[in-house]
Amino acid sequence: MAGWEHYLCILSDGSLWAWGWNDGGQLGDGTTAFRGAPVHIQPGTTWSSVCTNDHHSAGIKSDGSLWTWGWNWEGQLGDGTTTNRYAPTQIQPGTTWSSVSTGTMHTVAIRTDGTLWVWGIDAHAHNLENITTPMRTTPTQIQPGTTWLSVSAGSGYTLAIRDNNSLWVWGWNDGGQLGDGTTINRFTPVQIQPGTTWSSVSAGSIHSLGIRTDGSLWTWGRNARGQLGDGTTINRHTPTHIQPGTTWSKISAGWSMWGNTLSSHSLGIRTDGSLWAWGDNWRGQLGDGSQIDRHTPTHIQLGTTWSSVAATQQRSVGVREDGTLWGWGRNLALINVTTPTQRNWPSPPPSTFNVNVVNGTANQTTNVAIGTTVVITANTPPSGQRFANWTTTTSAGVVFANANNASTTFTMPANAVTVTANFENIPQPPLPTEFTVTAVNGTSSASTTVAGATVTITANIPPSGQRFVNWTTTSAGVVFANANSASTTFAMPNNAVTVTANFENVPPYENGQEPQPTPSPSPSPSPTPTPPPPSNGWQSPVPVSQLFPDSQNHWAAGVRNPDDTNYIGWAMANDITSGFPNGTFRPNGNVTRAQFTAFLYRIAEGGTPPVRPELEFGDMRQADWHHGYVAWAYSEDIVAGFPSNNTFRPDNQITREQLVLTLFRYVGESNVSTLISQEPINNI
């Protein structure tokens, strides 16, 4: 369909294309930009018919919905506004339409129920039944109760055919273009030549064409350039038969470039498919190879057959029966083309495209239809690398379902696609940094190690007359498992470590070390073991008043009642203990492992143990005061030390479980009943 300076066409697949001037948005591509080549309008939609005129366009989609776009100054779009629309806008959703025609500033359409509707400017009463309302911005029905077959809107007037094939006209009539025998404007439809029947009509700017049901051609209106084809330049106010004896199938009335001052031209196709043209030929729009006006139909390109034609201002286009598109007349560069010249139809857009996957695969790669879900999967990354993400830099319309997933999807856009699976190096954990371990007065399980490693430290054997106290450090992050143990552990912090085993002098007569006679060169016979104190309030030869001051009121001194036993006095009387040099007994103090073995020896053997060979314990020396006691207990299988690190830990407090186990070994399994029968030594 040809407009003022633009074109619209529908391809065989139903797609709509437009090109040319677009200053009013009449192309419908969403812009007002000139298009020198066809552009696809609303891809994905299909259309059954389209029309255009001055600066606005209308079309019916394949579902029967009506759409308009372009200039809307006079409400000619019918959307209820006077706002220009640069893309197709639906009119009255829910209605269906069979045909539509656009005039200069008005639009006429027929619904599928046959009702006729009009809208736009009311100038010259060309679109409505009365002139009192000059503008309609929404469709208004004409003559309710009537049904219509076809309609054609011209410049200020309208032609329409009812369902009985009668012809009706209304609007501007200054050139007799209504065909009612007058030049009077008509505000309501007026029938033309009652009793005649018509199959099609075409309204131009100032003249009209019609084909009766018998195929005969009739013309009327202005005729200054011979556009009526009757061999004259005389205006005709009623339909005039053109070339009697010929039959016609298609007609198109052209438009004057300068409104009423210049006439236009006409095109027609006979029933044999031949193309004919007549009227104004200033720009070669007749297509006969000249620029000479023709006052009668002139055969164009003998031997060719045509299926459709459209005449507009000083230009013509047509489609041959072989589907080729041809154009002639004034083109947009103001170059006259005086014979039909083949033009390329817009190519239907491809519906399938290829997918290229870099570093991966796709479930479809060739001829992938638009809208298809494409599954892409990254290849196995090279050694030392991992999948990072999917990217595309040149393919429009690709939206990944999850670009960070090695297997993901996207919907195929209307273009070829290249996607890339990106890999990255796997970050390597930093090599562990080793730090030095320095153990002062001791040893460590490692001289260097990494953060988090467990380090075992063991104190050296204290010098003679000293004993282990604890471990200390000034290094950050060191937490000893037991700082008071000669052998302990800690977790290596993230820095170098220095730890120190601290020793202290052993005070004389402390921890049970009491004055003893000089040992004999050889062991003397062991005295009779000291018996336990009898029950029933046995009283020590050492009176309570001579006991240690910190023990005289203690329950262990037997002072609560006459039946209590004086345990402390018993221990003193039997030389088991003599307390501390400062005159205290410390009855509530703790007992070390060395002290307890000394108590056992004095109970069992009495006196001072003879010198014995060096023990294998790493934390004891022969010069230690408790060496003989521990050596005796070890030889009697009463104590065994700690085999895990070969220590005895003499200065550690003896636990209750260690105490009972040592007593059990001392008494012997066969004497357990005897021990139980005797009064126990409580709270020791």
Q: Could you please report the per-residue DSSP string of 38-83?
A: EEEESTT--EEEEEE-SSEEEEEETTS-EEEEE--TTSTT-SSS--
| Phi, psi (rounded to 5 degrees) for 349 | -65, 145
The percent of the chain in helix, strand and coil, each rounded to the nearest 5, is 10, 35, 55
What pLDDT was estimated at residue 188?
A: 92
Tokens of 550: 């910190």
Select the more confidently predicted residue: 51 or 506. Answer: 51
d(CA 391, CA 85): 37
pLDDT score recorded for residue 532 = 52
Instruction: Give tens-digit pLDDT for 610-659.
Output: 777 777 787 888 778 888 888 888 888 888 888 777 888 888 888 888 88
Average pLDDT in the 510-526 region? 38
Q: Can you give the pLDDT at residue 124?
A: 45
- If pLDDT is split at 50, 70 and 90, which confidence band does 269 have? very high
Structure tokens at 672: 């357990």
For 362-380, the pLDDT digits (tens) are 999 999 988 899 999 999 9
- Span 194-223, pLDDT tens digits: 999 999 999 998 899 999 999 999 999 999
Q: Of the candidates 525, 527, 529, 526, which has an alpha carbon nearest to the alpha carbon of residue 674? A: 529
pLDDT at 658: 83
The predicted structure's pLDDT at residue 536: 45
Q: How confident is the model at residue 535 (pLDDT cuts 50, 70, 90)?
A: very low
pLDDT of 45-78, one tens digit each? 999 999 998 789 999 999 999 999 999 988 999 9
Position 677 pLDDT exceeds 70: no
pLDDT tens string 390-427: 999 877 889 999 999 999 999 998 889 999 999 999 98
CA distances from 651 to 70, 339, 484, 621, 630 (A): 106, 125, 10, 13, 12
**Segment (H or E) for 269:** strand 265-270
* pLDDT one-digit tens code per residue, 156-172: 899 999 999 999 999 99
Task: Give the pLDDT of residue 342.
Answer: 59
Sign of the C-alpha dihedral computed for residues 482, 485, 486 and 487 taken in this order: negative
Q: Is the pLDDT of residue 518 over 50?
A: no
Dump the DSSP string for 215-245. Answer: S-EEEEE--TTSTT-SSS---EEEEEEESTT
Query: What is the CB-side half-sphere exposure of residue 502 using CA atoms within 13 A?
Result: 8
Mean per-residue pLDDT for 244-265?
Answer: 79
- Confidence (pLDDT) at 338: 57
pLDDT value for 647: 84
Mean pLDDT over each residue of the chain, to the nearest integer: 84
SS3 438: strand
Report CA-CA distances (Å) from 415 to 12, 355, 360, 398, 646: 22, 9, 20, 10, 81
Q: What is the mean pLDDT of residues 478-503?
A: 94
Q: Which two tokens stand for residue 517?
A: 């006679």
pLDDT of residue 680: 37
Tell which wins on pLDDT, 152 or 543.
Answer: 152
pLDDT-derived band at 325 (thresholds 50, 70, 90) equals confident
